[in-house]
Structure 1
Amino acid sequence: MNNNDFSNLGIKNEILKALNKLGFDAPTEVQEKVIPRILDKQDLIVKSQTGSGKTAAFGIPLCQMVEIEQRNPQVLVLAPTRELALQIKQDIGNIGKFRKVRACAVYGRHPVHLQERELKQRVHFVVGTPGRIMDHIERENLVLSDIRHLVIDEADEMLNMGFIDQVEKILDLLPEARNTYLFSATMPDKIEEICSKYMKESTRIEIESLIKVEDKIDQIVYLTEDRDKEGILNKIMQGYNAGSSMIFCNTRETVDKVADIVKKRGFNVQALHGGMTQRERTQTINSFKKGFVQFLVATDVAARGIDVEDVTHVINYELPFEKENYVHRIGRTGRIDNKGMAISIVSNKELIKLGMIEEYLGYPIQSKSLKELDELVLKSSKEPGLKRRRITKKDKSQGIQNEITRIRINGGKKKKIRPADVMGAIGSIEGVTSEDIGIIDIQDTCTYVEIFHNKGRKVYQALKNTSIKGKIFTVKEMKKK
């Protein structure tokens, strides 16, 4: 990466170092236009498609702007789904790693008391779904007095999911002396209404995709009877040389059924839907991101917020109920500079839906015959080894994680340990300074501390014989994720 590309936007060394480790190239268009304006404290209304780099567009400047020593949250990010909230938290943590920026994600179907405990610590960013954010506000777990920046991400999806009333309640409770940044792929009337009501002097930015969807993504339709969909899906998986692929269905029941069909055919597959626990969903998404799973069968809502750059194929086992969701689905492939393919299996009873989607797109989707699909299957049968392929993927956070060691100290709040005690003990080790110490997370019975610059082993060895508050605690070097 040419660091000057970001430093020319006013980004400082600690953030530049993280961007370098994350493998960021030159800024995307949305980053180039948004970063300087956030640094200049302008309210923004940004129309930009998913996959344009918008999380980094607000994450980079806000990680630079927060005051690290301040205890209460300074940035609130509203996201429509749990997955997106977790993704944003992870991205913020990576971007702000060397500034010691802490982000907390709060969302439904996760124990409130665990989130409450995290909110009681020093947290710079709180990222969450509107319902759970409101819950924590009402419980007085979330202090709003020092919020200086509000990000509303995927505002149109908030509207579609019925969260807009909650978003407005939160807006009414926030300090007036704040900046607001709204990001949306589309701008329905209700979103425009919110912008005019809560953002008096805002700058509008619209990012036009340089390459049209129809040029980046090859779209194909196979027309069939409803009862024949399973067989067609099997032929598609046999005939197309798919890498990481997503199969979309409309209900949890269909997702489970299709995942079972794919598994019985010998493919590496997992299901993703709202009926799973958050732990199961997170593990499934991580397995897909890392390439352990080739096919992910998902509902629309569960798939929101999944940021995977190299999805080669999107397969619509069923067309979505909403025409806009067709574009969201196929946008999972053909990201950044990659080409992609979207294949839809359409039954006779879905022809009206198909017509509405084509009208929305402004062009017809190419229809291919089942005979052509059979010929493709025959051709691919001569190329063995595709069925159980595992796709090796590069984890973009690995560059940062490789040089960070996490150490567990077997003493915490119950032993009255404070961050200053840990800083003092580690800072007394020869050759280690405060710049080498990352986030210190003090829990009831233990403390976790990050050590930068490949000094983890040195600190670990020294801590075995270094007292904290006059006592030697046992320590453990945690395995890298």
Structure 2
Amino acid sequence: MKSQTGSGKTAAYAIPICEKIEWLENNVQALVLTPTRELAAQVREDIANIGRFKRIKSLALYGKEPFAIQQDELKQKTHVVVGTPGRVNDHIEQQTLDLDQVKYLVIDEADEMLRMGFIDEVEAIIKQLPANRVTMVYSATIPEQIEKLCQQYMGDPIKVDIPSDDSSGSIEHRLFEVKRDEKLALVKDVTIMENPDSCIIFCNTQERVNEVAVELEQEGYTCDQIHGGLEQDKRFSVMEGFKSGEFRYLVATDVAARGIDVDNVSLIINFDIPREKQSYVHRTGRTGRAGNRGQAITFVTPTEERYLQSIENYIGLGLTVNEAPSRAEVREAKEAFNQKMAERRIVKNNKSARINQDIIKLHFNGGKRKKFAQSILSVRFPIFPMSQQRI
């Protein structure tokens, strides 16, 4: 299925998979492959939320997490595994992941799998799966090599191409022509003028992400940064903070561009124009999601015109050139900007928080079965000492 980002691709496969899962079976019945750890964690959470009332158990497998812990979790009832190709292959090689009963395979963000060089690992995984499975491929773009993969491993594949509705105005694409050394000043002026509820600023390198984030923090912005050089726990912590409204501005490399769903991101800024035209689609797809309106602003220097032309040809529309705001305009807008910056962002539709708000989770770990049973009995039927019973 080819469809623009934010159109509900995850729900398109997660809902029918959860419906088809046989809860009593103690086998992995569905495998979802994703290109990044963040996307794997998000998809696992989405599947858990969708399958909540059926008690579907989903597990995320990705690198930089202890292998032994994942191995122990796989010994428990697991209906759906969501993982990155590298770590899934590790578990297959160590014979800690049994895929003999997999009925459904999903390859999510297939074009990014190709770009990141995961296709060989994906093919190795496919060869370990039952031949009579259902295979689904989802992506915002379908390159030729992905088409060949579908033809090779899918029987009579049906292609579903959902056209983009950008022409209807869900995302307004704008352009600022700027010199390289004037970008930092421009990003501050533009964000003051736009004053978004939340914003993602994309850069091409980790060094540039750090440079922009430090500059904005010094100017009083509530912001944080995320890139591939951070420890995994830190990356998850940053994304959770952004989703929950702890800060309004996220400065990121393309690690945050793929499939990450954050409520009410109204502005995307390409501080550095992406070198690959597909990356522009995925970056700007973080806004204007699920029928909402959004803006995508791109900074381009005189030496980057060739990338701009490639992007415009690819998306089928020209980016509207804008003049930089004047000093007077920025001064006039600064008070409203400062007022919003002093307030915590209101998250209007945090799906997981809304679903979990009335649920209390109890986690039991360790101990013998007899002790565990006694603990449950004590919770349900409090056992008092003999002296208290006599009183």
TM-score, normalisation: structure 1: 0.75
Q: 327, 332, 350: which one pairs with 1:374?
A: 327
Q: Which has the higher contact order (CA 8 A, sep 6+)?
A: 2
| Residue 122 of structure 1, CA deviation | 1.0
Q: Deviations over 1:42-73 (max 9, x none)?
A: xxxx1112211111111111112111121121
Gaps (5+ residues) in structure 2? 385-391
Q: Does 1:165 align with 2:120?
A: yes
* 1:308-323 matched pairs, under 5 angstroms: 308-323=262-277
Q: Does 1:277 align with 2:231?
A: yes
CA contact (8 A) 1:294 1:389 kept: no
Q: Which amino acid aligns with 1:378?
A: R
Q: Deviations over 1:291-340 (max 9, x none)?
A: 11100000013432311131010011110111121121111111112111
* 1:72-87 matched pairs, under 5 angstroms: 72-87=27-42
Q: Which residue does the alignment assign to 1:133? A: 88
Q: Which residue does the alignment assign to 1:51? A: 6
| Residue 115 of structure 1, CA deviation | 1.0
Q: Deviations over 1:326-377 (max 9, x none)?
A: 121111111112111111222222222222222223332111222x343531
Distance 1:373 1:198 in 2: 56
Q: Which amino acid aligns with 1:377?
A: V
Q: 459, 465, 471: which one pairs with 2:383?
A: 465
Q: Deviations over 1:371-404 (max 9, x none)?
A: x343531331353513334211132123331232
Q: Which residue does the alignment assign to 1:95? A: 50
Q: Does 1:364 align with 2:364?
A: no
Q: Does 1:219 align with 2:219?
A: no
Do the aligned partners of residues 463 and 96 (structure 1) sit closer, same or farther apart at CA in structure 2, a change above 3 Å counting? farther
Q: Deviations over 1:183-230 (max 9, x none)?
A: 122221111111111111333222223x32572222222212111111
CA contact (8 A) 2:203 2:252 kept: yes
SS of equivalent residue, structure 2 residue 146: helix
SS of equivalent residue, structure 1 residue 121: coil
Distance 1:330 1:48 in 2: 14
Q: Deviations over 1:75-119 (max 9, x none)?
A: 110011111100010011111112111101011111111111111
CA contact (8 A) 1:266 1:388 kept: no
| Residue 168 of structure 1, CA deviation | 0.7
| Residue 284 of structure 1, CA deviation | 0.6
CA contact (8 A) 1:272 1:303 kept: no
Q: Which residue does the alignment assign to 2:189? A: 235
Distance 2:96 2:326 in 1: 57
Q: Deviations over 1:247-306 (max 9, x none)?
A: 000011111111111100101000000111111111110111111110000001343231
Q: Which residue does the alignment assign to 1:70? A: 25
Q: Which amino acid aligns with 2:295?
A: M
Distance 2:101 2:273 in 1: 45
Q: Which amino acid aligns with 1:132?
A: R
Q: Which runs of 4+ in 1 moved over 6 A?
A: none
CA contact (8 A) 1:239 1:377 kept: yes
Q: CA RMSD in A?
A: 2.1
Q: Which residue does the alignment assign to 1:181? A: 136
Distance 1:465 1:51 in 2: 52
Q: Which amino acid aligns with 2:26?
A: R
| Residue 463 of structure 1, CA deviation | 5.5
Q: Does 1:207 align with 2:170?
A: no
Distance 1:251 1:187 in 2: 26
Q: Which amino acid aligns with 2:262?
A: V
CA contact (8 A) 1:246 1:311 kept: yes
Q: 105, 122, 130: which one pairs with 2:60?
A: 105
Q: Which residue does the alignment assign to 1:297? A: 251
Distance 1:348 1:312 in 2: 27
Q: Which residue does the alignment assign to 1:345? A: 299
| Residue 124 of structure 1, CA deviation | 0.4
Distance 1:373 1:463 in 2: 71
CA contact (8 A) 1:81 1:305 kept: no
Q: Deviations over 1:428-456 (max 9, x none)?
A: 8xxxxxxxxxxxxxxxxxxxxxxxxxxxx
CA contact (8 A) 1:315 1:342 kept: yes
CA contact (8 A) 2:141 2:278 kept: no
SS of equivalent residue, structure 1 residue 239: helix
Distance 1:381 1:152 in 2: 45
| Residue 464 of structure 1, CA deviation | 4.6
Q: What is the aligned-residue identity percentage?
A: 42
Q: Which amino acid aligns with 2:357?
A: N
Distance 2:343 2:308 in 1: 32
Do the aligned partners of residues 361 and 395 (structure 1) sit closer, same or farther apart at CA in structure 2, a change above 3 Å counting? closer
CA contact (8 A) 1:240 1:376 kept: no
CA contact (8 A) 2:109 2:258 kept: no
Gaps (5+ residues) in structure 1? 1-45, 429-459, 467-481
CA contact (8 A) 1:78 1:153 kept: yes
If each structure's strand is expressed as a fraction of its own residues, which one has the higher value? 1
Distance 2:5 2:67 in 1: 30
Q: Does 1:328 align with 2:282?
A: yes
Q: Which residue does the alignment assign to 2:387? A: none
SS of equivalent residue, structure 1 residue 386: helix
Distance 1:207 1:52 in 2: 9
Distance 2:258 2:370 in 1: 40
Q: 416, 422, 427: which one pairs with 2:369?
A: 416
